[in-house]
Structure 1
Amino acid sequence: MLERLRIVKQRFDEVSDLIIQPDIISDQKRYIKLTKEYKDLKILTDKGTVYEKLLNNINEAKEIIEDGSDPEMVEMAQQELEEASEKLPKLEDEIKYMLIPKDPEDEKNVMMEIRAGTGGDE
């Protein structure tokens, strides 16, 4: 999952660079498309950053627990490990859901007409 998040981060950086270029700003259709993509990628990269921090916190807590030189630090590390371990599965599920490619038809509007109908024999 970290590799996919890195790919998303690279695309986010590319889109960030593109939307500030004058030729893109002058092309309104492309600019609108890129800003929508930027918005979606921003949310995902923020979640990815939190995910990486949680993984780092878990690794650091495990190292402190294995070291075991200071009992107070070990206790704090165990608490940190428990908190991070509780948050991690939920965050992983959110990220997995966000990594599912969106259907391009989702952004389109629809107008539906519902008519009353009668049926049967008279």
Structure 2
Amino acid sequence: MLEKLKELALRYEDLQAQLADPSVYGDAERLKTVNRELKDLTPVAEAYQAYRQAEADRAAAEELLSDPEMRELAQEELTAAREEMERLRQELKLLLLPKDPNDRKNVILEIRAGTGGEEAALFAASLLRMYTMYATARGWRTDTVE
């Protein structure tokens, strides 16, 4: 897992360097691709950086364990660093899961009242409210198009 994270961190740095290159801004398609990939890698790179910081904190706390005056403080820091590393390890495992290719796709849902008069229209309105509330709970954006 750590090898994969190192590769992704290098790719993240490469993408940031590409954004600093003015020639990328001349090609709209390349700019779009670089920005999209950078956006996808940002959470992983930030979590990996935090993991590396937690590792450094753990190593520093282990060094302080030998000092009798700092032993208690070092033990607390060591415990906190280990807990943070474990939390970040779990977060990184989730972030490394493959993305669903359908995540970037849009959906159009058409709701019509159909036959049945006023009851059908009330049912269609309730159905629309239900789908809208579901989408809002998931953090999806909804637009009503007449």
> CA–CA distance in 1 between the matches of 2:29 and 2:98?
21
- d(CA) in 2 for partners of 1:48, 1:110: 33
Provide the secondary structure at the position in 1 that maps to 2:20.
Answer: coil
- Please, which runs of 5 or more residues in structure 2 have no aligned partner? 116-146
Aligned pair in 2 of structure 1 residues 32, 59: CA closer, same or farther (>3 Å)? Answer: same
> Normalised by the size of structure 2, how large is the TM-score?
0.68
1:117 and 1:95 mapped to 2: Cα distance? 48
Aligned residues: 115
Report the RMSD for the aligned CA atoms in angstroms.
2.0
Q: Distance in 2 between matches of 1:5 and 1:108?
A: 27
Question: Any idea what the Cα deviations from partners look like across 1:37-94, whole Å, max 9, x if unmatched?
Answer: 11222222121111011112222322332x2xx3221111101011112222221111
Paired with 1:64 and 1:21, the residues of 2 have a C-alpha distance of 44
Structure 1 match to 2:16:
16
Offset, 1:115: 5.1
- Aligned residue for 2:103, secondary structure, equals helix
The question of 1:32 aligning with 2:32 is answered: yes
Match of 1:107 among 95, 104, 107: 104
Amino acid at match of 1:95: L
* Structure 2 equivalent of residue 80 of structure 1: 77
Which runs of no fewer than 5 residues in structure 1 stay unpaired?
Answer: none
Greater share of helix: 1
Q: Counterpart of 1:45?
A: 45
What TM-score, normalized by structure 1, do the two folds share? Answer: 0.79
Sequence identity percentage: 38
2:6 aligned partner: 6
CA distance in 1, matches of 2:114, 2:86: 50
CA distance in 2, matches of 1:57, 1:44: 20
Which amino acid letter does the alignment assign opposite residue 62 of structure 2?
A: K
